Amino acid sequence: MKVIKTVNIFLAIAILILSVNLMKPLSITGSSVADLSDAECYFVNSGVSNDIPIDGCCYEVQKQLECKKTSKDYRCYTSESSERYYVVNANALNYCKVGGYDVKII
C-alpha cells in the first residue's frame, strides 16, 4: 500500500510538471544559435554573382577546398585563382556549421 502511495505522488508531480510545460514550455535545449535572418550566400562566376538558397549553399560550400575570411565575408573555393567561388557571410557559415556541414575555414 505504501508503494502505491509513493508511485501516485511521483505521478502527480510528473503530471504537474507536464501541465506547466504545456502552458509555458521550458527551454531545456536553449535558444537557436543559427540566425537565418541575415544569412547571405552568393555564387560568383566570372564576376557575376547569383543568390543561392541557404540549404543548397551549405551543401556546395562543404564541397569546396576551403573558405577564407575576407574583409567582411568568407570566400569559399576549390582554387584560390578560380573565377568561380561562393561568398557567404558569418550567419550563413554559422548556420552551415550548426547544421553539421563540414566547412573548412582558414
pTM: 0.66
What band does 75 get if pLDDT is binned at 50, 70 and 90? very high
In a domain, 106, yes or no: no
Alpha helix positions (H), the chain: 2-23, 54-63, 90-98
The boundaries of the domain holding residue 83 are: 41-98
Q: Are 66 and 106 in contact (CB under 8 A)?
A: yes
Give the count of domains, the chain. Answer: 1
In a domain, 91, yes or no: yes
Position 7 pLDDT exceeds 60: yes
Position 38 pLDDT exceeds 90: no
